[in-house]
Amino acid sequence: MPNPDYQGVWACLDQADGKISGVSLEVLSAARRLADMLSVQASAVLLGHSVDGLAAEAFAYGADRVYVCDDEKLKDYRAATYGKALESLIRSYRPAIILFGATNNGHDLASRLAGSLGTGLCTNCVRLQQNEEGMLIASRPVYGGSLMENVACGGARPWLYTIHQNAMEPLEPQDGKTGDIIPVKMELEEEDACAKVLKIIPAILGEISLTDAQIIVSGGRGLGDAKGFTLIQELADTLHAAVGASRAAVDAGWIPYAHQVGQTGKTVSPRLYIACGISGALQHLAGMKNSDVIVAVNRDENAPIFSAANYGIVGDLYQVIPVMIEEFKKVMAGR
Amino acid sequence: MDFGFSGEYTMVQKMYRDFAEKEIKPIASEIDEAERFPKENVEKMAKMGMLGIPFPEAYGGEEGDYLSYVFAVEELSKVCASTGVTLSAHTSLCAAPVYDWGTEEQKQKYLTRLASGACLGAFGLTEPNAGTDASRQRTTAIREGSHYILNGSKCFITNAGEADIYVIMAMTDPEKGSRGISAFIVEKDFSGFSVGKHEKKMGIRGSATAELIFEKCIVPAENLLGEEGQGFKIAMHTLDGGRIGIAAQALGIAEGALNEAVAYVKLREQFGRNLASFQNTQFVIADMANQIEAARLLVYRAAWCKDNRQPYSTASAHAKLFAAETAMSVATRCVQLLGGYGYTREYPLERMMRDAKITQIYEGTSEVQRMVISREVLK
Amino acid sequence: MNIMVCIKQVLDNASVPKLDPATGRVVTEGVETIANPFDLNALEGALRLTDVHGGEVSVITVGNEECKTVLKLGLAMGAAHAYLVKAPDGQEQDSWSVSYLLSRAITSLGPFDLVLCGKQAIDDDSAQVGGSIARLLNMTQVTYVEEIQEVSSESITVKRAGNSGSEIIAARLPALLTCEKSLGEPRYPTLKRTRMANRVDIPALDCTEIGADPDRAGALVKVQMVYAPEPRQRGELLRGEPEEITRLAVARLVEQKII
């Protein structure tokens, strides 16, 4: 039940290279909607170095207030320094609810805070709603997306939630909207970090990451060998898509694990997912069935993948994909 | 009477199942198609200690029992019967007689290499004219000073050409008939030993089967296994144990086939419903599951008899006969359940059906098992 | 090097978890269980470290007697010690309470140079326990570790999957890492080790023994309901000439403005 000492909804924003990440805009929009629902204020938290320029964007996406903690020691994301900064911010300003992006850093930070605050954390939320009794219910996929659960936090505040990517639509930005900027000074020592980021290896230029991709082309055991991925890559290049793979293809050593889609790989929800030579094992389906549209190519018309596909092409992928490439090229050239 | 497994056996079973699923299954159809012996499977099994399951640690073994070994062959055969028989021939037909009949020196020299997985083993009894009538051995072994000179040939030898160590039966005294047969340990590099023609088979095409040729093959006298004239006894005793391995292979094939068919009938839709919802499917599946359950009890009991030093000759004949017949009939019915798909090489069932057939034939045909059983019943 | 690896027993993901309509919870009775796959990657990573640098690996889990199965697997793979932490009776568990119990147990059993967890459990997909334990133990925290590169007596260098690429991080020991699959395919246990693991008497520790407050060891997040997501509509199956049906499929995608 509401604790009057703790007020408002915070969105903890991810930023890198002077930009607020896409999922953070979704998180901020979710915070705005939740604040409206609870009739409280929505605030954004910006942690980092040289980040004060980002406040305007936070206001445009619905923040009433932006806490800015600008410190050289926050240049790289590190659990200890970010955790310490946010912990002290929470103890001073007492939010009731904090939302994070369900990213690696988001989970890293939120789980650390849950440990220090001893408060509830719900990760990967796709919906936040109040039920009839006014309880805040978070819906989240479990078992790799095979099931959903509704959960509710109890006990001490603030309650923590991480928001699943592509689950909550960002608001239309309102340019020119402003609010209070609250600069916060922290006593951070380099010693506190306990860790040093020696190097950041950015994702290979031009390579589209699975989790960000709008279109994914995936290959499985049906490719027959590692060379099959050349064809998959060609189709992906045609569509500016990322390349995914089934566990069978990864286990066979045809493609690195980073491309694996499924329960023990990445969970994805692109606009279009093209599965080539993937039979559709349960673990794979769990990781991709939230894609908007699924196209499956398989020789075996009994393959379980067809049960999830909007369009199932029964045929040899080595005959089908070249035609696809040719057709898609025509479509793309016409733009 | 206790039919429940301890947690330990459940873990052992699961361990071999995981291994078979992850390491063996992915290449099962490829090695069948290419008729290729999968050396990589042998290496992986060796690394995991699977080549020495029922032998003492002192000889490089895993200190396990026969039931654990049966689990291994069963789980391998669920996904790849070729790999199942490779392990079975190595363990029951080569390492086991060296363990049971070998001198301490022979065990130190050969069993340690076999059980640790450094070497693969094989067994040579069958000859072109000595199949079921194994006592008619034509291969001869003549003692010359500190050596025996072997001449003759063996056929249908599992692991031939891939194995490093062979247990070979040969006639040392033709006058004495079956009592004139002796057993020898032959290394692949012994002078005068060679591997002949490789058989093109209907099934278990990923296993090596070939002829062994002995042309004045020189075998040191200390490689005589047991005593002169004990060869036939050693061979028969060895086959009693081997039959449990083949029974486990047959059981595995039947279970593997049923697993594939069950997965298929749950998915495949005809007339607007899945095949599993048709009563014919349900009854066929129930009958198959029923036979498999019975086969499993017979196979595990035979292993239990061996582990508990009970007579197991008849028990292993019961197990092999029933499991082999079950494998053949289950695999055939599973192909039928899949219809046209079952007949194609897209699905593993036609392979399983081809593989099942051999279990009714080798290490004593089903008819031989009936002879063993009836002899016991009518005595 | 002393390493503690936290393992969770989860339902076997070979089949779809079933819902009990009466309780609105997932049916667990009679369902096969496995060790959480990412935890086994963590264990493999730990064993590889002790293979090279010496020391011992311990495994720990929170649960009931049945959860000893995953600990036995840990021992069979090569862990030297195993500990079961018994959750207090009548208390529902969540990521918080498990983190709390594990942190207390690790303190009472330690010290450890490293604590390793999987990046998340494949049942609740929380990705929470590792970070919370790290904070409760005031350990250096690095999550989503893809590779361990170097270890010295004071620090460990790892590659982490960060938000905008891979990060090479030098972390001061003691540290808690949560591990990705790429840390290593778990080795197979051997028969010998499996038999040994089944003969080990695994201690079951209660709150008193680990110095935990039973009142704090309960769930903060309560599950209200578990349900199946909306099933996907079965789509269109295209059969025929490969060229023709492929053109047809592409045309549909274009018509519906998916491309």
Put simply, the chain C residues between 177 and 196 with a CB less than 8 A from any chain B CB are: 188-192, 194-195
Whether residue C171 lies inside any domain: the answer is yes
A155 has pLDDT over 90: no
- In angstroms, the separation between the Cα of residue B60 and the nearest Cα of chain C is 11
Mean pLDDT of chain A: 91
**Residue A312 — very low, low, confident or very high, per pLDDT cuts 50/70/90?**
very high
A307 contact residues in C (CB cutoff 8 A): 232, 234
A200-252 confidence digits (pLDDT tens) = 887 665 567 787 789 999 999 999 999 999 999 999 999 999 999 999 999 88
A302 contact residues in B (CB cutoff 8 A): 264, 267-268, 341
> Three-state secondary structure along chain A?
CCCCCCCCEEEEECEECCEECHHHHHHHHHHHHHHHHHCCCEEEEEEECCCHHHHHHHHHCCCCEEEEEECHHHCCCCHHHHHHHHHHHHHHHCCCEEEEECCHHHHHHHHHHHHHHCCCEEEEECEEEECCCCCEEEEEEEHHHCEEEEEEECCCCCEEEEECCCCCCCCCCCCCCCCEEEECCCCCCHHHHCEEEEEEECCCCCCCCCCCCCEEEEECHHHCCCCHHHHHHHHHHHHCCEEEECHHHHHCCCCCHHHEECCCCECCCCCEEEEECCCCCHHHHHHHCCCCEEEEEECCCCCHHHHCCCEEEECCHHHHHHHHHHHHHHHHHCC
Compute how many other C-beta atoms are within 10 angstroms of the C-beta atom of residue A42.
28
Q: Do B64 and C72 touch (CB under 8 A)?
A: no
Q: Is B57 on the interface with C (CB under 8 A)?
A: yes
Q: Is B51 on the interface with C (CB under 8 A)?
A: no
A35-65 confidence digits (pLDDT tens) = 999 999 999 999 999 887 899 999 999 999 9
- In angstroms, the separation between the Cα of residue A302 and the nearest Cα of chain B is 6
Domain span at C154: 2-216
> What is the arithmetic mean of pLDDT over B212-234?
97
pLDDT given at position B233:
96
pLDDT given at position A2:
59
pLDDT given at position B243:
97
pLDDT given at position B73:
98
Asked if residue C44 lies in contact with residue C185, where contact means CB atoms within 8 angstroms, the answer is yes
Q: How many domains does chain B have?
A: 3
Q: How many CA atoms, within 13 angstroms, populate the side-chain half-sphere of residue A209? A: 13
Q: Same structural domain for residues B325 and B214?
A: no
Q: Same structural domain for residues B76 and B13?
A: yes
Whether residue C58 lies inside any domain: the answer is yes
Q: Do B341 and A302 touch (CB under 8 A)?
A: yes
Backbone CA torsion sign across C205, C65, B18, B322: positive
State pTM to two decimals: 0.90
Whether residue C225 lies inside any domain: the answer is no
B5 has pLDDT over 80: no
Report which of B19, B20, B4 is spatially closest to residue B253, judged by C-alpha positions. B20
Q: Which stretches of C78-172 are DSSP H helices?
A: 95-109, 129-136
B273 has pLDDT over 60: yes
Supply the residues of B annotated as catalytic: 363
C191 contact residues in B (CB cutoff 8 A): 12, 15, 49, 53, 62-64, 68
Q: How many domains does chain C have?
A: 1
> What is the arithmetic mean of pLDDT over B28-47?
96
Which member of C69, C190, C197 has the closest CB to residue B62?
C190
Q: Is B215 on the interface with A (CB under 8 A)?
A: no
The alpha-carbon radius of gyration of chain B (Å, integer) is 21
For B43-50, which contacts have Cβ atoms below 8 Å and span 24 or more sequence positions?
Answer: B44/B19, B45/B83, B45/B87, B45/B117, B46/B116, B46/B117, B46/B118, B47/B117, B48/B19, B48/C188, B48/C190, B49/B117, B49/C190, B49/C191, B49/C192, B50/B16, B50/B19, B50/B87, B50/B117
B267 contact residues in A (CB cutoff 8 A): 302, 304, 307
Q: Is B267 on the interface with A (CB under 8 A)?
A: yes
**Residue A146 — very low, low, confident or very high, per pLDDT cuts 50/70/90?**
confident
pLDDT given at position A276:
96
C touches which chains (3+ CB pairs under 8 A)?
A, B
Q: Same structural domain for residues B216 and B239?
A: no
B67-124 confidence digits (pLDDT tens) = 999 999 999 999 999 999 999 999 999 999 999 999 999 999 999 999 999 999 999 9
B306-324 confidence digits (pLDDT tens) = 999 999 999 999 999 999 9
pLDDT given at position B50:
97
Of all residues in chain B, the one with the smallest CA distance to A247 is B22
Contacts of C187 by beta carbon, 8 Å cutoff, 6+ apart = C44, C47, C77, C78
- In angstroms, the separation between the Cα of residue A39 and the nearest Cα of chain C is 23
pLDDT given at position A110:
98
* C80 CA to centre of own chain: 19
Of all residues in chain C, the one with the smallest CA distance to A120 is C220
CATH code of the domain in which B343 resides: 1.20.140.10
Whether residue B95 lies inside any domain: the answer is yes
Whether residue B349 lies inside any domain: the answer is yes
- In angstroms, the separation between the Cα of residue B161 and the nearest Cα of chain C is 28
Last residue of a domain, one of B178, B194, B229: B229
A165 has pLDDT over 90: no
- C8 to each of A263, B136, B290, C86, how far by Cα in Å? 16, 61, 36, 13
**Residue B263 — very low, low, confident or very high, per pLDDT cuts 50/70/90?**
very high
Which member of B22, B26, B268 has the closest CB to residue A302?
B268
Whether residue C11 lies inside any domain: the answer is yes
Report which of C9, C68, C11 is spatially closest to residue C39, judged by C-alpha positions. C9
Q: Same structural domain for residues B250 and B373?
A: yes
Q: Same structural domain for residues B141 and B76?
A: no
Last residue of a domain, one of B115, B135, B161: B115
pLDDT given at position A166:
81
| Low-confidence winner among A252-266, B53-67, B98-112 (lowest mean pLDDT) | A252-266
pLDDT given at position A206:
58
Which member of B6, B11, B62 has the closest CB to residue C192?
B62
Q: Same structural domain for residues B211 and B241?
A: no
Return the structure tokens found at B127.
Answer: 């000859």
Whether residue C233 lies inside any domain: the answer is no
B26 contact residues in A (CB cutoff 8 A): 221, 248, 251-252
pLDDT given at position C30:
87
- In angstroms, the separation between the Cα of residue A227 and the nearest Cα of chain C is 21
Whether residue B163 lies inside any domain: the answer is yes
Q: Do C122 and A263 touch (CB under 8 A)?
A: yes
Whether residue B374 lies inside any domain: the answer is yes
- What is the C-alpha to C-alpha distance for residues A289 and A269, in angstroms, rounded to an integer? 7
In B70-191, beta strands by DSSP E: 121-124, 140-144, 147-158, 165-171, 181-187
Last residue of a domain, one of B92, B115, B138: B115
Asked if residue C244 lies in contact with residue C252, where contact means CB atoms within 8 angstroms, the answer is no
Whether residue B1 lies inside any domain: the answer is no
pLDDT given at position C40:
98
Instruction: For chain C, list residues with pLDDT below 50.
Output: none
Asked if residue B37 lies in contact with residue B162, where contact means CB atoms within 8 angstroms, the answer is yes
Q: All domains of chain A, ordered by start, with CATH?
A: 9-193 (3.40.50.620), 215-332 (3.40.50.1220)
Q: Same structural domain for residues B161 and B287?
A: no
Mutate to test the interface with A, among C167, C225, C227, C230 (most CBs of A within 10 A): C167
Whether residue B132 lies inside any domain: the answer is yes
Q: Do C222 and A154 touch (CB under 8 A)?
A: yes
Q: Do C141 and A323 touch (CB under 8 A)?
A: no
Domain span at B317: 233-378
Which member of A221, A299, A304 has the closest CB to residue B346?
A299
Contacts of B374 by beta carbon, 8 Å cutoff, 6+ apart = none
A1 has pLDDT over 60: no
> What is the arithmetic mean of pLDDT over B248-258?
98
pLDDT given at position A191:
77
Which member of A248, A251, A304 has the closest CB to residue B267?
A304
B touches which chains (3+ CB pairs under 8 A)?
A, C
- What is the C-alpha to C-alpha distance for residues B347 and C68, in angstroms, rounded to an integer? 38
Which member of C133, C166, C228 has the closest CB to residue A147?
C228
A293 has pLDDT over 90: yes
Whether residue C40 lies inside any domain: the answer is yes
Whether residue B140 lies inside any domain: the answer is yes
Determine the residue type at A299.
R
Q: Do A150 and C166 touch (CB under 8 A)?
A: no
Asked if residue B117 lies in contact with residue B41, where contact means CB atoms within 8 angstroms, the answer is no
Q: Same structural domain for residues B52 and B103?
A: yes
Determine the residue type at A147.
L
Whether residue B2 lies inside any domain: the answer is no
CATH code of the domain in which B178 resides: 2.40.110.10
Q: Do C191 and B19 touch (CB under 8 A)?
A: no
Q: Same structural domain for residues B243 and B374?
A: yes
Q: Is C72 on the interface with B (CB under 8 A)?
A: yes
- In angstroms, the separation between the Cα of residue C200 and the nearest Cα of chain A is 31
Q: Do C188 and B53 touch (CB under 8 A)?
A: no
B24 has pLDDT over 90: yes
> What is the arithmetic mean of pLDDT over A120-136?
93
Q: Is B343 on the interface with A (CB under 8 A)?
A: no
Contacts of B276 by beta carbon, 8 Å cutoff, 6+ apart = B262, B265, B266, B282, B285
CATH code of the domain in which B97 resides: 1.10.540.10
A5-25 confidence digits (pLDDT tens) = 899 999 999 987 788 988 899
Mutate to test the interface with C, among B9, B10, B62, B70 (most CBs of C within 10 A): B62
pLDDT given at position A205:
54
